[in-house]
Amino acid sequence: MPELPEVETVKNQIAPHIIGRTITRVTLLWDRMVKGQDPQDFVKRIAGQKITGVTRHGKYLIVHLGSGYKMIIHLKMTGSLILGNNIDAEPPQYSRAIIHLDDGQNIYFRDPRKFGILNLVKDTLEIDAKLGPEPLEASFTPQYFTEGLLKRSAPVKSVILEQKFIAGVGNMYADEALFLAKIDPRRPANKLKKAELKRLFTAIQDVLIAGIKYGGASVVTYYHPDGSVGTAHQHFNVAHNLAKVCPVCGGPVKRVVVGGRGSYYCPKCQK
């Protein structure tokens, strides 16, 4: 699933190509990806809108339009945005929507599993209410993080995956952060020691920064807007590395289920 580093990479790479451009029309190849409104109304209202900016909140990509409205894009589990210059070209496989721009470019919303979302909203209050602070911004403080975890008896991994607690952290980067902090993902959050909390706070930021540096993780279906892949997964220590060995102790990486999510960890390093 595209997480904060993947969506941030999409934002950074696509923005220079689309800011200042006008959306001439939208072709929906899967109407049900439009949520919260009639798909044809979405198509009608977005045509002719100028793109004035692109931002990200958590895992949401927000395209700001000249009318003041925002087009919300959520890539969900398998989504990617692919840029294409040939308006007559065959859309990439699994394209579910095509956003046509006035310079002949197309933005293809590619989504094999059809979980991706498009929406047009006046403001982002509903999204903002669902999300906690951004982990790479000043609002994410050690005090906030510590107090939030010590209130919860749920497994620490389940807590840091809650988007209302921390925006944008997903399964892969949670596994990596817990490995760096030497914490078993099943540990009750309120049982963590002060030193462990400090290590985990720093580790979350470190793995996200590294993820952005390497352009996100292309484990299965994630692509950059130019069709290339990210390389963050090549630097993972444990995430998706079942049957490989821990780079620290040489022991086998194991997989357990925590809160319904497959979780990779090193039993020796994360006791």
- Each residue of 178-232: pLDDT tens digit? 999 999 999 999 999 999 999 999 999 999 999 999 999 998 889 999 999 999 9
Contact 216, 2 (CB under 8 A): yes
pLDDT value for 156: 98
Chain centre distance of CA 267: 27
pLDDT value for 1: 72
The answer on pLDDT for 88 being more than 70 is: no
Catalytic choice (50, 186, 261, 268): 261
Backbone φ and ψ for 98, nearest 5 degrees, come out as -125, 120
pLDDT value for 90: 87
Q: What integer is the mean pLDDT of 82-104?
A: 90
Is 59 an annotated catalytic residue?
Answer: yes
Cβ-based neighbours of 104, under 8 Å, separated by 6 or more: 85, 86, 87
Is 45 an annotated catalytic residue?
Answer: no
Domain extent listing, the chain: 4-130, 142-265
Question: CATH topology for 4-130?
Answer: N-terminal domain of MutM-like DNA repair proteins (3.20.190)
Is 147 an annotated catalytic residue?
Answer: no
Catalytic choice (11, 59, 157, 199): 59
Contact 106, 84 (CB under 8 A): yes
- Each residue of 114-134: pLDDT tens digit? 999 999 999 999 999 999 999
The answer on pLDDT for 265 being more than 70 is: yes
The answer on pLDDT for 87 being more than 80 is: no
pLDDT value for 85: 83
Is 112 an annotated catalytic residue?
Answer: no
pLDDT value for 181: 98
Element (H, E) at 56: strand 51-57
SS3 labels along 140-197: CCHHHHHHHHHCCCCEHHHHHHCCCCCCCCCHHHHHHHHHHCCCCCCCEHHHCCHHHH
Q: What integer is the mean pLDDT of 102-110?
A: 96
pLDDT value for 221: 86
The answer on pLDDT for 173 being more than 80 is: yes
Q: What integer is the mean pLDDT of 97-114?
A: 96
Element (H, E) at 18: helix 4-18
Cβ-based neighbours of 218, under 8 Å, separated by 6 or more: 229, 230, 231, 233
Q: Is the dihedral of CA 86, 87, 93, 97 positive or negative?
A: positive
CA atoms within 13 A on the CB side of 128: 5
Extract the tokens encoding 198: 């400090």
The answer on pLDDT for 89 being more than 80 is: no
Q: Does domain 142-265 have CATH number 1.10.8.50?
A: yes
- Each residue of 38-70: pLDDT tens digit? 999 999 999 999 999 999 999 999 999 999 999
